[in-house]
Structure 1
Amino acid sequence: MSNHASFISSPNDSGNHYYQTYEESLTLWPVTYEAFYVSTRFGQTHIIASGPKDAPPLILLHGALFSSTMWYPNMADWSRKYRTYAIDIMGDKNKSVPEDLNGTRAGYAEWLLDVFDNLGIKKANMVGLSLGGLHVMNFVLRAAERVEKAVLLSPAETFVSFHPDFYKYALGLALPNGVENFLKWMMGDRYVLHPNFAKQFHAGVLWENELRNPKPRADGFPYVFTDDELKSVKIPILLLLSEHEVIYDPQSALYRASTYVPGIEAEIVKNAGHVLSMEQPEYVNGRVLRFLDV
Structure 2
Amino acid sequence: MNAIYKSEAGRAAIQARYQELVRRWPVAVEQLHIPTREGDTFVLASGPKDAPPVVLLHGSGANSATWLGDIASWATDFRVYAVDMVGEPGGSAESRPALGSDAVASWLDDVLAGLGVSAAAFVGMSLGGWTALDYAVRRPDAVTRLALLCPGGIGKQRFGWIFKNLLDHLFSNHDLRRSAAIVTGLNLTDHAEILDDVTLTFTHFNPRTGKLPLFTDAQLSALPMPVLVIVGEDDVMFKSADTAHRAQQSIPDATTRVLPGVGHAILGQTAPVLEFLRK
TM-score, scaled to structure 1: 0.83
Structure 2: which amino acid aligns with 1:252?
D
Deviation of 1:200 after TM superposition, in Å, equals 3.7
Aligned length: 270
Alignment-derived partner of residue 49 in structure 2: 53
- 1:34–1:49 CA contact under 8 A, matched in 2: yes
CA distance in 2, matches of 1:117, 1:37: 13
Identity %: 26
Alignment-derived partner of residue 276 in structure 2: 291
- Counterpart secondary structure, 2:262: coil
Distance 1:183 1:108, change over 3 A: same
1:201 aligns with 2:206: no
TM-score, scaled to structure 2: 0.87
Structure 1: which amino acid aligns with 2:212?
P
- Counterpart secondary structure, 1:105: coil
Q: What's the RMSD between the two structures over aligned residues?
A: 2.5
Structure 1 gap ranges (5+): 1-10
- 2:86–2:96 CA contact under 8 A, matched in 1: no
Alignment-derived partner of residue 228 in structure 2: 238
Alignment-derived partner of residue 77 in structure 2: 81
Further displaced range: 99-108 or 78-87: 99-108
Once the two structures are superposed, residues 167-187 of structure 1 have per-residue CA deviations (whole angstroms, 9 ceiling, x without a partner) of 432677997422431223422
- 1:173–1:182 CA contact under 8 A, matched in 2: no
- 1:141–1:233 CA contact under 8 A, matched in 2: yes
- 2:154–2:247 CA contact under 8 A, matched in 1: yes
- Counterpart secondary structure, 2:134: helix
- Counterpart secondary structure, 1:149: strand
Once the two structures are superposed, residues 16-48 of structure 1 have per-residue CA deviations (whole angstroms, 9 ceiling, x without a partner) of 111101012224422222222110011110111
Structure 2 gap ranges (5+): 1-6
CA distance in 2, matches of 1:87, 1:275: 19
Once the two structures are superposed, residues 150-202 of structure 1 have per-residue CA deviations (whole angstroms, 9 ceiling, x without a partner) of 1111102x11211138643267799742243122342253874352x444433
Equivalent position to 1:151, from 147, 151, 164 = 147
Deviation of 1:260 after TM superposition, in Å, equals 0.9
CA distance in 2, matches of 1:170, 1:95: 28
Alignment-derived partner of residue 68 in structure 2: 72
Once the two structures are superposed, residues 248-272 of structure 1 have per-residue CA deviations (whole angstroms, 9 ceiling, x without a partner) of 3322221111111112111212443
CA distance in 1, matches of 2:172, 2:28: 35
CA distance in 2, matches of 1:251, 1:27: 38
